[in-house]
Amino acid sequence: MRRTSVLFAMLGVGTAGLVLAWGWPWFAAQMTGGDSSAGTIALGKALYAERCAACHGAKLEGQRDWKSPLPSGRMPAPPHDASGHTWHHPDDVLFRITKEGPAAVVGRGYQSDMPGFGNVMSDEEIHAVLAFIKSTWPEEERRYQAEMSRREREPIQ
């Protein structure tokens, strides 16, 4: 009986090790909202420089006085670094804002200078830009944003 217990214990540890080894990349990707590989982040950085930096800043700093409306009544581009509010939003919201534009999320006739990028970037490219932005945040902000995204994906009970 004792030999059987040891055998089952070893089998359990071995199985847990295999699950962790094979499942860790998937789990890590889920915690960061997608693929967070160095290649994806590098692609996102290049796309950010090409498509986003003109408004949101080369260092993700956003436009000056980003919390105050412009003379047009529209809001300036917010920062995407830790000083902004990007990390307060779950992945699905960030993706939709980027793909469809802020008005798609805010509604009520909201007008923004930011277009949707769904017609110029693929879903994978949008995810890469978001992975780059998230890679610049401190650990606490990344953890908070990952938790918000996880909660958003949970089924309502």
Residue by residue, pLDDT tens for the chain (157 residues) are 566 654 445 555 444 444 334 443 434 444 334 578 999 999 999 999 999 999 999 999 999 999 999 999 999 999 999 999 999 999 999 999 999 999 999 988 888 999 999 999 999 999 999 999 999 999 999 999 999 999 988 876 6
Task: Confirm if 105 and 152 have CB atoms less than 8 A apart.
Answer: no
Q: What is the pTM of this model?
A: 0.75
Q: What are the chain's domains?
A: 32-153 (1.10.760.10)
